[in-house]
Structure 1
Amino acid sequence: MPATPLRRIVQSHTTSPLGDVLLAATEQGLAGVWFVQGQRHMPDSSQWTTDEAHPTLLAAAQQLQDYFSGQRHNFDLPVQPAWGTPFQRAVWQALQRIPYGRISTYADIARDIGNPKAVRAVGAAIGQNPHTIIVPCHRVLGANGSLTGFAGGVDRKQHLLAHEATHA
């Protein structure tokens, strides 16, 4: 995932019950959230500056801690991916409309964005979601209720769904 060259990306790390998390931000907002280990579609962060005091990154770390402690159901962060096609961004916006503790399907998301035949493309876009947990791609299941892919790993997806079911 190449970053938009006009945007300077800064990074920091936080911990979670599911492993260490990489956070990234631009001046416009939160650029991404990924598990450090076992995450597919990780960006190359080697050229990013570390800024542990960046306000958006501090807020993201705190809100993730609140989420995992069961105190937060919704994230209040300026989500601004530094990459993604218009189609991907539409899918990622649709994911944000799935309520805490609820699930959806790939077909539901395709219908939500006005493209009901694009189920496979929706799945691919969800797999590229740069905001793990914050943009809740873990709430999307296969049509038969199966825990299909999750870039952070199906075990993590299962944990996140169980966590939300417990705290809903």
Structure 2
Amino acid sequence: MNRVTSTAYDSPVGPILLTFVDDALVRLHVAHDGLDLARAEIAQRLGIVPEPDASVGRGLVAQLDEYFDGARRAFDVSLDWRFVRGFTRAALEATRQIPYGEVASYGEVSMMAGAPRAARAVGTACASTPFSIVVPVHRVVRADGSIGEYGGRPEVKEYLLSLESDAMLAETLLTST
């Protein structure tokens, strides 16, 4: 039987519940509606209440700290894709190809995922990702360049894009002097 654990992380964009099955991340949930609701939702989806255990998520917590400090560009964590199927997975995998500090349109991601006419499906995939932040769906924008939604919280998407843009600018300034 798999071990299901969770830990809370206090981030600049709100409380985050990290849930793992064995050592793989199964859900990163920015819990704007509270950690208790996030815990209940994941328990219902998995059919088991995750046991609190900060040790399992320690590596990801350190990576999140580095990311929010502008020092980490990508995450190195095993992902448990049980909640993701078919084109949704292809779209989410494609978003992982968008470089840190850059954006791509829903249409561009649909082409990267092998379905050029599936821009709306990319939007659905991004909205339903179980791996927010770690799989950078916040880097996907509308064709006109506007940022669009992000779990009903466009200000979070704006914050993440700004964080990455600022880190890139700081790096450019450091290397040019």
Unaligned 5+ segments in structure 1 are 1-5
Q: Is the contact made by 1:107 and 1:143 (CA closer than 8 Å) also made in structure 2?
A: yes
Give per-residue Cα distances to partners, 1:73-122, cap 9 Å, x unaligned.
Answer: 11111122331112111111111111100000100111011111111111
Instruction: Please name the residue that 1:124 is paired with.
Output: 124
- Count how many residue pairs are aligned between Structure 1 and Structure 2: 159
Structure 2 unaligned blocks of 5 or more: 44-48, 169-177
Structure number with greater CO (CA < 8 Å, separation at least 6) is 1
Tell me the residue number matched to 1:44: 41
Residue 28 of structure 1: how far off its partner (Å): 5.3
Residue type of the alignment partner of 1:149 = E
- Deviation, structure 1 residue 34: 1.3
Equivalence for 1:31: 26
Matched, 1:21 2:23: no
Which residue in 1 is equivalent to 2:4? 9
Closer, same or farther: CA 112–63 of 1 in aligned 2, 3 Å: same
Partner of 2:175: none
Counterpart-to-counterpart distance in 2, 1:103 and 1:38 = 28
**What is the alpha-carbon distance in structure 1 between the residues aligned to residue 75 and residue 91 of structure 2?**
18
Matched residue type, 2:42:
S
Which residue does the alignment assign to 1:91?
Answer: 91
The TM-score with structure 1 as length reference comes to: 0.87
Equivalent position SS for 1:78: coil
Per-residue CA deviation, residues 35-73 of structure 1 (Å, 9 max, x unaligned), is 11159xx6713422211111xx11111100010111111
Identity %: 30
* Runs of 4+ in structure 1 over 6 Å off: none
Aligned: 1:61 with 2:77? no
Q: Please list, as runs of the form range in 1=range in 2, the aligned pairs for 1:90-109 lying within 5 A after superposition.
A: 90-109=90-109
Letter of the 2:27 counterpart: G
Q: Distance in 2 between matches of 1:115 and 1:81?
A: 20
CA contact under 8 A between 1:106 and 1:143: conserved in structure 2?
yes
The question of whether the paired residues in 2 share the 8 Å contact of 1:32 and 1:81 is answered with no
Whole-Å separation in 1 of the counterparts to 2:108 and 2:91: 11
Alignment-derived partner of residue 3 in structure 1: none
